[in-house]
Structures are given as C-alpha cells and as structure tokens.
Structure 1
Amino acid sequence: MFNRKSRDDILARVNFPLYTVQMLTNRHVIVGGGGGSSKTGVANGFEIFEISHNGKNFLAEEVTRHETGPIVVMNFSTYKNAKRTYIVAGQENHCQLYNVDSVITTEDSIENIGSENNQNDLRERKPKAKLKTDNNKNSKKLKFIIKPSDSVQSDFNGLEPLLRVIRVHPSGQLLVTGGTDCQVRVWKFPSLQPAAVLKGHSKEIDDMDFSTFNNLLVTVAKDGLCIIWDCLKAKEISKLKWSQPEGSKYLYKRCRFGVIEGEKACAVYTLANPTGLAKKQKSYLQKWLPESGELLRMSNFDESLSALAVRNDGRFVAVGSMFSGSVSIHASFSLQKVLNIPGAHSMFVTGLEFLPVSDNIHTVTSNAEAAVLSISVDNHLCIHTLHYRKTIPLWLGIVILVATLFLTFVFCSYLGI
C-alpha cells in the first residue's frame, strides 16, 4: 500500500526501504527492497506502480505487490519482448527469475500477487479510492501476475555471499551477475545456464551495465577498476583511467552506458568518489568513450555520489547524492547541470530511473522535458521534472530585433553619430 503526501514530488510511500528501481513498461515502474530477515515486521519484496499525469502533477497507482518472505530484494533487472516479460531479482546470493503475465481489468480492486506461503494465488483486495485523473473512472487497467520460475546461486563468497547487481542484455539472450566473490558471471537467458566467467576484478562488484550497441559490458568494483568487456567473446577491451588529483584515491561507484544522439554508438558515464584521506576532495560525474578509454567530460560535486541513470535517448543524465539525498539532472553532451533538487530524500539516494521517451514523445504525456524517478531507504518513490524552457515565437523575435535596430538608428541620429 502507499500513502499520498503533500509534496508534489512524492509519488508513493511503501512500507519497506527501497534499494532498486526500473521501468517495467513505458508506463509502469517497479521498486524493490525490504528489511531483511530480522524480525522487525518490515516486509520484503517489490511493488509495481502505474505512472500517469493529470495535466498538473504526476500520479502513481499501485497495481501489483509481491512479497518475498524473509529475503530482501537488493537489485533486479527487467526484460520485455513481444511474447513475455521477465523480472530477475537478486535475493541474497541467488538470482531469482519471475515470469510476468499481464491482464486487462476494469475492476476497482487491486490484485495482490504472491506471498511467502502462496506465491501464485490472486487475492482481491477492498476497492481503493481512485486517483483523480482526466481518464474515465471505469477505464481499463493493466495488472500483472508474478510467477516465480527458476533460481540459481550466483555468488559464492564463503563468508557472506551476496549478489549485488544484475543486468539483462538488450537482446534478452544474456544475463550478467556480480557480487562479493569478485566474479562477473555471464548466463544464458532466460534458461540461467552458465556461459562464461569474466575474471578481472579483485574485490566485490559494485555495478555493471550493457551497451545498446557493439555488445559491450562495463563493470566497476571496490578494487578501483572500471573495465570494458566484449560480453560475447568474454574478453577485456580496456580499463578506464584518468589523472586523479595528487595524493588522492578514487573508487568508481556507478556506471551506465548512454546512446550518443544521432550516432549508433554509446558513451560510458561513471561516478567516482574519493576515499580515505581524500574524502574532502570533489566527487565526479564522468563521460568516456568506451573503446578508446578517452575521458571526454567531468562535472564535480561537493559530496559523495550514490546513484546514476541515463535516459533511453541519451539526452539526459541523472545523479543522486549520498549524504544530502539530493538529485540533479544534467545535459549528457556537456554534463552541465540543468536541474537540482536539494534534499529530495531524507537519506541517501539508492536508485534513479528516467521515464522513457520514444521518437521525442513522452510515453507518459506531461508538460516536462524530462522526468526522473528516485528512491531511497526513506521508503519514498519520488519524481523530479525538468520543465520545457520558455521560448518566444520566431516572429516576435524578428519584431524585437527590427525594433531594436530602428531605435538604435534613431538614437545615433539624435546624437549626430
């Protein structure tokens, strides 16, 4: 369940800390997390919300909730093709695959799918008060049925095995996992059969991402390395290196590929935080060319960074901070900050995800040029919008230019110049 808050940027509040967020469809977002196995009464699982816009504000309506018993959901990845939708969740040291079936309903009730004791039953809940939108009150709704499928152990650290990150290849044929045992494992998808192990890191994996083109994979770990791989050949291509400030040490925290506008190529974006004696140094958002390892741009921050997202068209990048819970949106070309939301969350930002666009048309119609979702362990799902910058019509600009030239001429004539 979720409660609406007075702040316009808060879409929903769930009853467990949030660690991961991703778009499931063009209009549906899935968030996951939990309180772990401790007996605190805090749930574990994930929820799916439908995003809409009423002409003034974005709204979120819960459509499906799935609980995972005592196992927290720390990360997941989604994949959708013409026939089926999948969710792959990192649950402790295992990779859990879920099949997602969608149904159309006009009922007022919300389907609550799955529980620790009864994973596949549908339970009809009491009717909820409908959110006010400009849609018909009895409009059809898309609901989801979550069915647990295969599960495979994907981290083998003897002390505390933990799967930290999962990514599905854009083709839907491969899956990569990384965790505390320092290994990047490649699996066939959706069969979850082992395909390869990429050995290049000496400490636990923090983040990974696939490119849309050229079958590239980027990985970052606590050993300070950022490695570009050919994921089909299971071969290292390059390591990203830069001239760090003298006497400092930086670790990469997050990595994402982003499409370069107008080109069939991708750039790599990374977050780099100072460590040890260098903690008073700046943190950086960086943009790279992956194959050559060339550092193209950097933008600095006064605090450590914790979350990163790139919009599907590659035009905008979003960054979340560690201590102040702030969120900022940057133009990807220059990394110039175009929107800053200080204190978006009361605690550190754990995940970011842009609402996608298609052919420059937003899939959720709104008055925003860009909209990014953010989550935190404060249990909030928020949205932050970059409104279209105001422009004047061409004819008005021409009139102003002609009037300015005329007045300048009159003033110069008056002065006898």
Structure 2
Amino acid sequence: MATCIGETDFPPYVIKCMNDTHFLVAGGGGESKTGVPNALEIFEVELGSSGIAIQSKCRFNTDNGDDQSAIMNAALRYDGKEYLMAASKNERCQMYQMNKTVKSLIAQTMGRDDEEKEEKGKESKEDEVTLRKRKKKSSESNGKKKSGAPPGRQLVHFDVKRLQSVQTDFSPTDSSQNAVCFSPNGMYFVTGGVDGHIRMWTYPTIEKVYDIEAHSKDIEDIMISPLGNKLITISRDQKAYVWNTKDGSKMCELEWEECADHKSYRFGSCRYAFLNGDVSNSTMFTTHTPHIQKKGRQPSYITKWNSHKFTIDKTVCTGDDILSALAVSHSGYYVGVGTMSGSVGIYVTFSLQKVKWVDNAHSIFITGLSFIPMTRNSRRVVGDKDAAVLSLSADKKIGLVTVTRSGEYPAFLMFLGVLILIMLIFTLFAYFGMDF
C-alpha cells in the first residue's frame, strides 16, 4: 500500500525531486479568491521516530501583483550550483531560481565553544585542549540522544528568487501554457499551450528562436530527447509529432494502432528513460487514454518506443482506469503511472511487466509523480528498496510507493513460506509413519 508522508494546504499540481532527499511541490487555488494560497514549497524526506515523514525547508508565495494564478506545470533543472524552474502562470512562463545553503551543526557548536574559551582565557593551553575535547564529546553525545542524528549533521535551507517571465501562449481565448521542457544543456527551453504552437526560447536571455504552428488543438505535453536533438509534442488533436530541435522541422508522426478502437484514443504523456546515465541508450514511453468517454470498458495503455526509429516495441493495458500521470526513474529501470481514481502503478522499463499496483493510493486523481534517486542517503530514509516514487493528488496528500529489491521479500510471504515448509515436514513424517 501507499504511505502518506505529508500534505499541503493548497491543491498541488507539480512535484519534482531536486535530489535524493529533497523535492518541491507547486500549485494553489488560482484566482478563485477563496483564500487558498498559491505557493511553491520545498520539502525534505526524513526518517523520524514514527516513520517516514517530510519537513518543509522553504515556502514561497508565487502571487505577483495582479497575477494570482497557480502553477499548473513546470520544468526543473540543476546546473551544479543552483536550481532553475520554468513554470506556467496562465499564458506566461515564469522563471524561478532556487539556491541551496548548507550549514554544519557541529561546526556551529564548535564555534561557540571556541568563543567561550577565548572569553575565559584563564585556563592553560593544556586545560583548553582537554576542555575542548570534553565539550565536543558532550555535544555529540547530547545530539545523539536528542535527535538520533550522526556527527556532522547538516542544516539545509533553500532560497527562492523570482526571475523574468515571458508570454508563451497567444490564444485569443483562455490562453494558457500547458507544457514546458528544458534542453539537456539548459541553453534553451520549449513551451506549448492552448494555441497549438511550439516556441523555443534561449536561456538566460529569453529570446525566441522559432515559433511553429504544430497542432490544431491544445498541446498537452512536450519532451526533449536526452541528446537534445529531437522534440516530442502531444496534443488534444490526437496527434504526436517528432521535431528537429535545431531548425524546428517535422521529422515524423508517431503512429499508434495498438487496439481495435484506436481511433477513439489520444496520446496522454511522453517521457524518456535512459539507463544509468547513458543518454545514447534511451527509450521513450507514452500513455494512451480514451479521447471520448463511452459506456462500457475503456482501458488505458502504456507504450514503449524505439527512440531512434520511433516504432513501437511493446504496449500493455494498465486497466480501465484513465491514466493521469507518467514518470520514469533516474536509473531508467522503472516507469510509473497515476490514474484518475488515485491509483499508482510501477512497471519495469525493459518488459513493461507490472511490479507494483496500489489501488486508491489517493482519494482522488493523481496530479503528479516523481521518482526519488536511489542513493545511500535516500535508502537510509525509505529503506533498502529498488525504487521509490512520490505521488501527488488533488486531495492535497503526498504519498510514497516503493518497490522491494530483488532478494528482499515482504514479511507475509516469508511467513507463508515457513508455514508451507512446516506442512511439508508434517506430510513427510506422516508418509513414513514417523511419530513426533
């Protein structure tokens, strides 16, 4: 089952893992004037006395003057020094910069000890050394007793700064940016929205590179390939195209005819996965949902594509629940989906074999998924797992779903195995007429 590790006080629509223990959430009540805030909040996943929980590290009000819209979609990148987020604010793309600061609690404690010693100035040099050692040991011992934190614990904080914005959608009615994606090198980003145009922009100068009328209806998702040379667009016109990012020329259309009623389906989302950081070894995934709601069974699908030939490798049915979210793990081994009923599923990228499905992980539709990078730090918190995905929903709750590592088995399976073994032993003893 899914674990609820926290919640927000605003409807969340965006979730992005920043590193192995921190993630951001964005959303809000929009312009409804109901008192529900529009905000961006950064959390840390930690292991407390009562289990896995989250702690807020930074909160930023995203309202800006007359603009009181909520962030509905965003792209995040890290250049090794700071985080940059491009977020939708109605018809505009708003840039945010997030800087991480780290302070050592032990260093602060030692600094205070040194100041105290200088003020006293009466002990001999030998006594000062002895006193410093005693205080350091005492400080570390007290810290362990109070918080359980190891020596060298760090205090992390984030500062958020609002940067420039640019209008990216020009629909005469209900204009809105629906999708945004950074290039792998961070030198440009691409936007799409209600007017069906894709627009490429330079960063940080925010100059338009090209503007292409790509679709006849709203663009719903955009994804740039790991090598940065191809761009995928998905639209409500039931089309999905591949573009050359250099000049904006159309390369091909994605053809999907994987079910008998395929003409009544449309593309939902698109994501790339690449194994262990090898961008040349990438695979593409798309979701497919009914375009028109009908009575009776209407399953959804997830498809794996050859990212070089753009041919279909495999398609699997995920059930009758409409898919609402898609994400891939940082290792490239897992792909996750969220549904309109609030369920979460995890599949192996190689075979699209389902390894985990949690019904009703949330009480309402999933708005976003993000895999936690599995490192030594993250495994200290979530356990020795193969994968861990954070789920976000309109119910304002943040969930966690994990995948058990190979060779690790749930307690009930171990109990069942022991029970079967005991029954076999009894059967053998009875067969040979042996008494206990």
Structure 2 counterpart of 1:166: 180
Is 1:189 matched up with 2:197? no
Are the equivalent residues in 2 in contact too, given 1:64–1:144 (CA < 8 A)? yes
| One-letter code aligned to 1:223 | D
Is 1:259 matched up with 2:258? no
Unaligned 5+ residue runs, structure 2? 106-145, 410-436
Structure 1 counterpart of 2:393: 376
Task: Name which of 257, 271, 274 aligns with 2:290.
Answer: 274
| Partner Cα separation in structure 1 for residue 342 and residue 147 of structure 2 | 30
Is 1:351 matched up with 2:349? no
| Partner Cα separation in structure 1 for residue 49 and residue 314 of structure 2 | 37
> Post-superposition shift, 1:311?
0.8
After superposition, the C-alpha distances for 1:270-292 in whole angstroms (9 at most, x for unaligned) are 11001326563221011111332
| Partner Cα separation in structure 2 for residue 134 and residue 268 of structure 1 | 43
Structure 2 counterpart of 1:129: none
Task: Name which of 323, 331, 350 aligns with 1:305.
Answer: 323
SS across alignment from 1:287:
strand
> Post-superposition shift, 1:370?
0.4
SS across alignment from 2:69:
coil
| One-letter code aligned to 2:208 | P
> Post-superposition shift, 1:139?
3.0
Are the equivalent residues in 2 in contact too, given 1:215–1:230 (CA < 8 A)? yes
Greater Rg over alpha carbons, structure: 2
After superposition, the C-alpha distances for 1:127-171 in whole angstroms (9 at most, x for unaligned) are xxxxx9642599322111111111111111111111111111121
| Partner Cα separation in structure 2 for residue 342 and residue 137 of structure 1 | 41
| One-letter code aligned to 2:324 | S
Q: How does 1:322-361 map to 2 (within 5 A)?
A: 322=340, 324-357=341-374
| One-letter code aligned to 1:246 | A
| One-letter code aligned to 1:314 | G
Is 1:180 matched up with 2:194? yes
CA change 1:134–1:209 in 2 (3 A) is farther
More displaced, 77-86 or 383-392? 383-392
Task: Name which of 96, 118, 122 aligns with 1:98.
Answer: 96
| Partner Cα separation in structure 2 for residue 51 and residue 80 of structure 1 | 19
Is 1:45 matched up with 2:39? yes
SS across alignment from 1:346:
coil
Are the equivalent residues in 2 in contact too, given 1:31–1:46 (CA < 8 A)? yes
Is 1:27 matched up with 2:21? yes
More displaced, 17-26 or 156-165? 17-26
> Post-superposition shift, 1:53?
3.8
> Post-superposition shift, 1:199?
3.0
> Post-superposition shift, 1:30?
0.5
CA change 1:103–1:304 in 2 (3 A) is same
| Partner Cα separation in structure 2 for residue 234 and residue 55 of structure 1 | 53
CA change 1:205–1:335 in 2 (3 A) is same
Runs of 4+ with deviation above 6 angstroms: none
| One-letter code aligned to 1:245 | C
Structure 1 counterpart of 2:333: 315
More displaced, 46-55 or 188-197? 46-55
| One-letter code aligned to 1:354 | F
Q: How does 1:59-98 map to 2 (within 5 A)?
A: 59-69=53-63, 70-98=68-96
Alignment TM-score, normalising by the size of structure 1:
0.80
Is 1:284 matched up with 2:298? no
More displaced, 382-391 or 249-258? 382-391
| Partner Cα separation in structure 1 for residue 235 and residue 2 of structure 2 | 36
Structure 1 counterpart of 2:217: 203
> Post-superposition shift, 1:391?
6.1
**Between structures 1 and 2, the one with greater helix share:** 2
Are the equivalent residues in 1 in contact too, given 2:2–2:401 (CA < 8 A)? no
> Post-superposition shift, 1:265?
2.5
| Partner Cα separation in structure 2 for residue 86 and residue 385 of structure 1 | 28
| One-letter code aligned to 1:85 | Y
After superposition, the C-alpha distances for 1:49-100 in whole angstroms (9 at most, x for unaligned) are 0123469943311100011222211111111113332122111111111122
> Post-superposition shift, 1:11?
1.6
| One-letter code aligned to 2:349 | S
Count of residue pairs brought into register by the alignment: 360
> Post-superposition shift, 1:305?
0.4
